[in-house]
Each structure stands twice: as C-alpha cells, then as structure tokens.
Amino acid sequence: MRARIPTRGRPADGVLTDMESFRARDANYKGGRTFSLVYWAGDAHHDLLKRAHGMYMAENALNPMAFQSLKRMEAEVVEMTAGLLSAPPSAVGSMTSGGTESLMVAVFAARERARVKRPWVRRPNVVMPTTAHVALDKAAHWLGVRIKRVPVDAKGRADLRAVKRAVDRNTVLIVGSAPSYPWGVVDPIVEMAAIARRRRIPMHVDACFGGYILPWLERLGVWFPGWDFRVPGVTSISADVHKYGYAAKGASVLLYRDMDHMRHQFFVATHWPGGVYASPSMQGTRPGGPIAAAWAAMQGMGESGYLDKAREAWDAAERLRAGIRTLPGLRVLGLPHSTVVSYTSDDPGLDVYALADQLEAAGWHVDRQQDPPSIHCSVGAANAGVIDDYLADLGRAVSVVRADPSLATRGNAAMYGVIAAIPVRGLTDRAVRDAMAQMYAPGATTAAPGVDATVERAARALKRVKDAVRGIWRQP
C-alpha cells in the first residue's frame, strides 16, 4: 500500500517518535561499528553542527546578494581550505554538495576550458588510474567525456608509463588521487603533474577523502608523496569537508590554482525570460545549512581539534593494520599513506566475502571491494575505541570460514563472489540493475528484510551468466 499524505497534520511528537523508530536497523556509527558513511566527532560537535545547520535551514546560497552571510561563510571555508592545501594567493574555489559534484564540476570545467583554449578537441578524454573514484565515470557518462583508465602497480599507484602513453591530443584532464578510496594510496602526483605541465593539460587531485586529514597527518610526522598545491602543475583539488573535516553532509570544496581555470565551471544564461541566471556549480538551489555547518565545524574544531582527531584516526588505523597482519591468510593492500585500511585473502580456503558476512552478523557495517576481493575500512577517530573488538571478531570470522568453506556460496558472499569472478564486466549489469529496481520498486520502503531475497536472486542470475560464459569459452 502506498504511503499517503495524512489528511490532517500530525503532532510533532508523534512524527519524531516514528522517525526514531525507523532508525532501529540503521548502522551504528556512534559506536564506531561503521568505517565509512559517517565521520563522527562526538555529541558536542554534532550538536554544534545541528544548531548551525538549523540557523540556515531556509536560506538559499544561489543568491549571494540576498544571503550575504552565506557568501561570507562559503568564502571563508574556501580560504581556510586553500591555506590547509598550501594554495597560492591566487587560489579560488567554491563549495559543492559533496565529492561527486566536485568531481563532476572539475571534469566539466576541464571540458569547457578545452573548448575555448583547444577548439580542435572533438572527443575529450580524461586520463586517470583504475583506482580513481567511480564518480569520475559518472561525470564522464553525463558530460560526454571518455575515460582512459591506466593500470596501477602492486602497491596501488598509477603506472606513470601508462599515463604518458594514454595522454593524447584529446586529453583535457589528468586525475590522481590523494589518497585513492579503494587502497588508501597517494598516487605519484608530482610525476603526473609534471606530465600534465609538459603537455599543458590541467591536473586535478581528487583529495575528497584526504584533503582534511593528510595535512594534519603530515604535521604529525606521517610521510607520503607530495600531492597538494606545492606541486607545480596541480591546477585543482577537491576535498570533502563532510569527511575528515567533520562537517554535516553534504559539503565539499573545489579549489583552483587561479581564476583562469575556475571561470570555466560557471553556468550563465542571459536569454531566459525569468531573468539573468548564474550558477557556480551544478546545483540551482544551494542549501544554506551545509555551508553554515561546514564553517561552524572548522571554527569549532580548530587546528588543535583536527590534529587530535587525526592522531586518533591514524593510531587506530595503524593498530588495525598491525592486527590484520597477525592473521594468517590475510594481507593489507597498498601503502600506509592514509587512514584507509583495505585487506584481502591470499588463502583459497578463506573467502574474503564470507568473512564480510561473518563480520556483519557480529554487528559491523562492512564495505566490500573487488579486483581483488577485499574489505575496506575508512578508519576515523570514532573507531579508535573498537579496534580490538573488530580484530577479535575478525579472528573468529577467520576460524568460522576456514571451518566451513561452503559459506562462500551463501548470502552476500555468493553475489559478490560471482560478480568478482565474471571477467566480462558488462554481463553483470542487468542483474545488478534488476536488484536495484526491486529495491526501489513501488512499496519497497526499506531495504530489509526483502534485500536478502534480492541478493539471492541476483546471485543466482549472475551465476547463470557466469556458467553461460564458461560454456561459450569451452566450445571449440
């Protein structure tokens, strides 16, 4: 039965009680049992964000003349971020709704800049490593830009020779990660930016994940390769304030070295009967709450607060890495460049997706990855107190899966295992879309309990595709 607007408005207490009950099955981020999605800095900081967000809940940053206070706060967030990322005095930028919008706008600006500066480019492409965030693929899909992905080495860093080969006369942007989301590795930005500079191509650094923690880790003595505006050739950087900036969602910053690059992200229309329309990003209406909360978060945390949170997150990540290395059959991926900890299994009898199922049964929210099959943990300060619990549950999960290898053929492990095993990636598309369609079908107001059946159906469908492909290959 479809939900309907009530005939009469309900009392506020009843509405809020219902909403609270809806959260019963949600991930326990306050207790540190999630490793992504929410970056929790405690009740007091959360209360500050709520109050700041609420103060500007109705305001619209689309019109900076009407709401000059929002323009001021946005400008100051951009300036504080520019200082954090060692940007020159000429640096400019704007806030967006999150990393995906920042990356889409960066690709759009590069495409539009090429149309002006290099009008012969008819089929623009973006060169980036396989580990670059998939939001760039979404940007390319929507903007009509081709993605040229290059391989990474055994540690997850972009292959520089492949980058050089991939760049051609139609390349409008080179992208590197600081760090990459899958493995938490900082790409060789110095060398990639040098290639971009020689070819006079913009170089974007996706620091959506690392922009608000790598600078603090550097101050704490953690080493990783150069990646910010100190690197000649880096022309833009994106950084999400709602991750390790501990702001409310959704808030990200897109910075450019100078206005020559930023001006190409603006949309201006002067022909519309509704009047002159100008927008700095993809949004029309720009909610004031996230801008205000981002400003409040940075003011409330201060340098000392960010350093403390970075230290807690780093120490927790190091303890997690060390603990995983003590478990036979497991291997930590990448390099210790960040607070991302991803690990895989080198033991054929220890299915990593079955491990994930066991961890979920123990109350953890688990992020699964592929190529190779692995588990991803974005470690934050909120996870510091539960690392020992996680390692204990992981150790038990290893024992359970070793004792019963058939667990790899059941539950979520079955679906992810089949997806990872099919070499022709396009063949999985329909089954995954079908699973999504069922999750968003009429009446599907929640992902559970129906999600388990959806997963099983998707797994069976993918297995049929896998078996069909193997049958084709076996034919003479």
Model confidence pLDDT, tens digit, residues 434-459: 666 666 566 666 554 444 454 455 55
pLDDT of 29? 84
Residue with the bigger pLDDT between 159 and 447: it is: 159
pLDDT of 408? 80
pLDDT of 449? 42
Q: Over the chain, what is the mean pLDDT?
A: 88
Alpha carbon distance 292, 248 (integer Å): 9
Q: How confident is the model at residue 33 (pLDDT cuts 50, 70, 90)?
A: confident
Q: How confident is the model at residue 63 (pLDDT cuts 50, 70, 90)?
A: confident
Residue 20 has pLDDT above 80, yes or no: yes
Q: What is the mean pLDDT of residues 186-213?
A: 97
Q: How confident is the model at residue 272 (pLDDT cuts 50, 70, 90)?
A: confident
Burial of residue 456 (number of CB atoms within 10 Å: 0-12, 13-18, 19+): middle
Alpha carbon distance 189, 183 (integer Å): 16
Q: How confident is the model at residue 417 (pLDDT cuts 50, 70, 90)?
A: low
CATH topology of domain 52-298: Aspartate Aminotransferase; domain 2 (3.40.640)
Alpha carbon distance 240, 312 (integer Å): 19
Q: Check: CB of residue 279 under 8 Å from CB of residue 266.
A: yes
Q: What is the mean pLDDT of residues 364-372?
A: 91
Q: How confident is the model at residue 414 (pLDDT cuts 50, 70, 90)?
A: low
Residue 280 has pLDDT above 90, yes or no: no
State what percent of residues in the chain have pLDDT above 70.
Answer: 86
SS3 content of the chain, % helix, strand, coil (to 5): 50, 15, 40
Q: Check: CB of residue 281 under 8 Å from CB of residue 101.
A: yes
* Two tokens, residue 205: 């650094």
pLDDT of 472? 45
Q: Check: CB of residue 319 under 8 Å from CB of residue 387.
A: yes
Residue 52 has pLDDT above 90, yes or no: yes
Alpha carbon distance 231, 197 (integer Å): 11
State what percent of residues in the chain have pLDDT above 90.
Answer: 70
Q: For 176-193, how does the pLDDT look when each residue is reduced to its tens digit (9 = 90+)?
A: 999 999 999 999 999 999
Residue 431 has pLDDT above 80, yes or no: no
Q: How confident is the model at residue 239 (pLDDT cuts 50, 70, 90)?
A: very high
pLDDT of 424? 47
* Two tokens, residue 473: 């290959």
Residue 256 has pLDDT above 60, yes or no: yes
Q: Of 71-85, 104-118, 195-209, 257-271, which range is least confident?
A: 257-271
Q: Check: CB of residue 332 under 8 Å from CB of residue 375.
A: no
Domain boundaries, the chain: 52-298, 422-474
Residue 462 has pLDDT above 70, yes or no: no
Q: What is the mean pLDDT of residues 300-316?
A: 96
Q: How confident is the model at residue 341 (pLDDT cuts 50, 70, 90)?
A: very high
